[in-house]
Amino acid sequence: MARIACKYYREKKGVDKKETFYRRKGKRIIDIIGAISGLIVFSGLFVIIWLLVKITSSGPAIYKQVRVGKDGEFFTLYKFRSMRRDAEIHSGPQETTRNDVRITFIGRVIRKTGLDEMPQFFNVLKGDMRIVGPRPERPYFVSQNKCFQGKWLSVKPGLFGLVELKYGFSDDCPHITPEDKVPLDLGYIDKYSCWMDIKIFFAVVWKILFRHFYFSRILSKETTIPVKKE
């Protein structure tokens, strides 16, 4: 399997004391149950969004894109297409901005609510991703930013994490840089547990549904985790 052309982090000092049952097996079990449940519960909404995307713009409803996963391995990420099908033919890889003209009307709605990420439940089932974890980046951006390398590549990426809890998704805070995001991700990698994942999950869901920061304040300790530079 292809990998990103960079050095990636791997601990080789024996058994890590933090390797609890949850980290070794429990998280994967919960991810599978959560992904199956999500696909069943939101199956009707999944079909509606699929139809809306197909009807309102040309091109496939499901967009496939190469992302960087654990240990730098490439995988195919699925999401509902929110941009014109020719969005990057001439420009190449670009970060999305708040009023990006490439985004369709339906695309703007599903991006704002995070519904464009729903197909990634299939990525979770395949084992490419987790429900909670750092968001996966594209190979171009990983190769251009060293902060996305090292320990950041030591875990599987997720549907959402501390970055989305603190800053929202990319359309909410387009000015956020990798240097803003990575310290939160590294802090999560060092400290994540079942209880922490539960809090992040419900806090992000609350934030998406109500655009409220109550749970964000509850997790203020997690979002200010001191991170040692490698």
- Show Cβ contacts of residue 216 under 8 Å, excluding neighbours closer than 6 positions: 165, 166, 203, 207, 223
- What is the predicted pLDDT for the residue at 190? 92
- Domain region containing 90: 21-222
- Residue range 186-214, pLDDT digits in tens: 999 999 999 999 999 999 888 877 764 44
Distances (CA, A) of 87 to 63, 95, 110, 142, 163: 12, 12, 17, 20, 26
Would 7 be classed as within a structural domain? no
- Mean pLDDT score, 77-101: 68
Tell me if 43 sits within 8 A of 185, measured CB to CB: no
- Residue range 103-145, pLDDT digits in tens: 888 888 888 788 899 999 999 999 999 999 999 999 988 888 8
Tell me if 159 sits within 8 A of 34, measured CB to CB: no
Would 176 be classed as within a structural domain? yes
What is the rounded CA–CA span in Å between residue 14 and residue 130? 24
Count up the domains in the chain and report the number.
1
Would 146 be classed as within a structural domain? yes
- Residue range 142-188, pLDDT digits in tens: 888 877 778 889 999 999 999 888 887 766 566 777 778 889 999 99
- What is the predicted pLDDT for the residue at 15? 41
Would 1 be classed as within a structural domain? no
Would 11 be classed as within a structural domain? no
- Show Cβ contacts of residue 213 under 8 Å, excluding neighbours closer than 6 positions: 207
Would 62 be classed as within a structural domain? yes
- The answer to whether residue 7 scores a pLDDT higher than 70 is no
- What is the predicted pLDDT for the residue at 14? 39
- The answer to whether residue 222 scores a pLDDT higher than 60 is no
- What is the predicted pLDDT for the residue at 91? 52
Tell me if 122 sits within 8 A of 78, measured CB to CB: yes
* 193 CB-contact burial (10 Å; exposed 0-12 / middle 13-18 / buried 19+): middle
Would 10 be classed as within a structural domain? no
Would 192 be classed as within a structural domain? yes
